[in-house]
Structure 1
Amino acid sequence: MTIRPLGGTGLSVTPLCVGTSPLASMPDLYGYAVDEHRATVTVDAVLDSGGAINFIDTSNGYGDDGSAERRIGAALRRRGGLPSGIVLATKVDPDPRTGDFSGARVRRSFEESLGRLGVDRVQLLHLHDPERITFAEATAPGGPVEALADLKREGLVGHLGVAGGPVALMRQFLDTGVFEVVLSHNRHTLLDRSALDLFRTAHERGIGVLNAAPYGGGMLAKGPEKQTKYAYGERDDTIATAALAMRAAAARAGVPLAAAALQFSLRSPFIDSTVVGVSSPERVAQTLELAATEIPEALWEELESLVPPAELWLDPPA
């Protein structure tokens, strides 16, 4: 895959980014467990992809006691550290026991991540799901945004991003001028276009754009019979009906719906990289195959006609 710039950060990333929350083993969320060996060989598969994927996304809060970061760190240590050309992003999270998301907690979260990953610097660090506190709390003196800016000023972090869901809140954080990258999830898919204007505007401003969860939490990959929830929450039946109609359209065109769902994000001119969670080496290979599947232009037009009404999106337009 052709490496491209991540906004104005100076980082160069592949259109595919591997999300690692499944590697943390969270069966309550995903419905299956992932042991440490499977997790580390999955990281190996990414690192051995021959440059097809050079971007890995993780978080302090993925799994018990940061298990995703620990497993990534184990794979990196076997190689003597982070290989050249690999971009590794992580996120700061609240204290899992107390919920504290203060500036002091941000620094502790970052230090925990450094230890788990076995690195002394992070290329890209996100403020993760800031909807867990108010915007005023996040931007207050001594708060998490100021703490992140301090980490960058000290040279411990290359670039800062904000990663979360609600589109209006993501806009507020970008307007602070602190963040160089925005990541939103489940809001720019075949079934939901909530983040369209956010992503387009960010791209025009030179802000890096990451689109996560192009399968809507699995519905567009597994099908609505197996994954009845969209974005891990119960939705209007119209969403599942649309997914079924889209799958039928893709079948008539001779392509898997998952390929169209992934390429819907990959073909966007204002998305720099698409974050796809993987849980095995086989899934890494399958994702690359889906990205390379040929899709007829007529299918895109049919899929567009099947998009659910905007009032059913996660963040309906005002």
Structure 2
Amino acid sequence: MSAPGDVFPLRQLGRTSLRVPEICFGGSGLASMPEVFGYDVPEERAVATVRAVLAGPVGFLDTSAGYGDGRSERIIGTALAEVGGPPPGFVLATKVDPDPATGDFSGAAVRRSLESSLTRLGVDRVPLLYLHDPERISFEQGMASDGPVAELLRIQEEGLARHIGVAGGPVDLLRRYLGTGAFEVVLTHNRWTLLDRSAERLIDAAWAAGVAVVNAAPFGGGLLARGPGRQDRYAYSVADRAVLDRAREIAELCAAHEVPLPAAAIQFSTRDPRIAATVIGVTRPERVAETLELSRWPIPEELWPTLHQLAAPADHWQN
């Protein structure tokens, strides 16, 4: 088994005590959510994918209690049990979610979410724990004395999570949570890609505050991996024509320079010094090595200025 960092240099994760590779593998697809991703993932294939991650040079894996009602965590736990737990230095991140039956996102629900996660993963603590999609409640509920943020801070004090972060969609809401000073890491998704630059202000604010930025979904849910000829969805919804037109221009430009489209999509994120790690979902064992190869694909420096100009119009961003 390769030790984390053998091939991929480690970066400081903001002001945390963690050092992580620039690539983090994402576990949402392992949960087999065809309503989101459009395809099923058999359990054995999912477990084999986690085995490939654990055997590789990238010691960073992200999941959530809410992915497939815990299925992603259970699959990861199965693979971890086979190797006797997370390897030394491996960073396992998960997220707390509301009660799946009632939608309760109180502090008590967060505590239950974490306890269930630890059981499924087969660990007694995690290096990194996120508040997941806080847009499901108001900011005031999130910050209440009996709310999820207060409980996360208690969980951190107890040592069940070494560091805490917030992971979600709406950029302005994430900036409000960032401003509380409670979080050491912020995870944004689908909002800092070749097509969408919604997260610019969030990334700048986090960088200025010393908060680590983890950028997820650089493929925009697949469009920037498969290309507009094979997919017409961005961020899990049907993309507007303006977005597809820009994706087509980007794909053609990459092809003209003999650069795979997904390589450009990954490196748009990893080359940004403000971004500590980029989360890329994988659901097949072979995709682990393929992703790492794409992240190291030689891209002519002169290609980047043109790519930067080809983002979709701002009124088509996720925000």
**TM-score > 0.5, shorter chain as reference:** yes
Report whether the alignment pairs 1:55 with 2:47: no
Counterpart residue identity of residue 279, structure 2: V
- TM-score, normalised to structure 1's length? 0.96
| C-alpha separation in 1, matches of 2:35 and 2:78 | 24
1:91-240 to 2 correspondences below 5 Å: 91-240=95-244
Alignment map for 1:271-286 (pairs within 5 Å): 271-286=275-290
Query: In the alignment, which residue of structure 1 is the partner of 2:250?
Result: 246
How far has the Cα of 1:156 moved from its partner? 1.2
Q: Matched residues in 1 for 2:47 and 2:106: separation?
A: 32
CA distance in 2, matches of 1:81, 1:47: 10
Instruction: For residues 209-238 of structure 1, give each alpha carbon's deviation from its aligned partner in whole angstroms, at most 9, with x where no partner exists.
Output: 100000111111111232211101233210
Alignment of 1:29 onto 2:33: no
Over 3 Å off, 4+ runs? none
Distance 1:307 1:263 in 2: 15
Q: Deviations over 1:29-53 (max 9, x none)?
A: 112111221111111111111x2x1
Task: Read off the aligned partner of 2:282 and give its amino acid letter.
Answer: V
Q: Indicate if the aligned counterparts of 2:175 and 2:205 stay in contact, CA closer than 8 A.
A: no
Alpha carbons 2:110, 2:151 under 8 Å: kept? yes
For structure 2, which runs of at least 5 residues remain unmatched after alignment? 1-7
1:257 aligns with 2:261: yes
Specify every segment of 5 or more residues in structure 1 that has no aligned partner in the other structure, as ranges. none
How far residue 286 of structure 1 moved from its aligned partner, in angstroms, is 1.0
- Tell me the amino acid that sits aligned with residue 20 of structure 2: V
State the distance in 1 between where 2:210 and 2:306 align. 32
- Cα distance, 1:175 vs structure 2: 0.9
What CA distance in whole angstroms lies between the structure 1 residues aligned with 2:311 and 2:46?
Answer: 35
3-state DSSP of counterpart to 1:297: coil
Q: Which residue number in structure 2 is paired with residue 17 of structure 1? A: 24
Aligned partner of 2:300 in structure 1 is 296
Deviation at 1:295, TM superposition (A): 0.4
Q: 2:51 aligns with which of 28, 31, 44?
A: 44
**58, 76, 81: which one aligns with 1:77:** 81
Kindly provide the amino acid, as one letter, of the partner of residue 118 in structure 2.
Answer: L
- Structure 2 counterpart of 1:60, one-letter code: A
The separation in 2 between residues aligned to 1:226 and 1:135, in whole angstroms, is: 38
Identity in percent:
57
Q: TM-score, normalised by structure 2?
A: 0.96
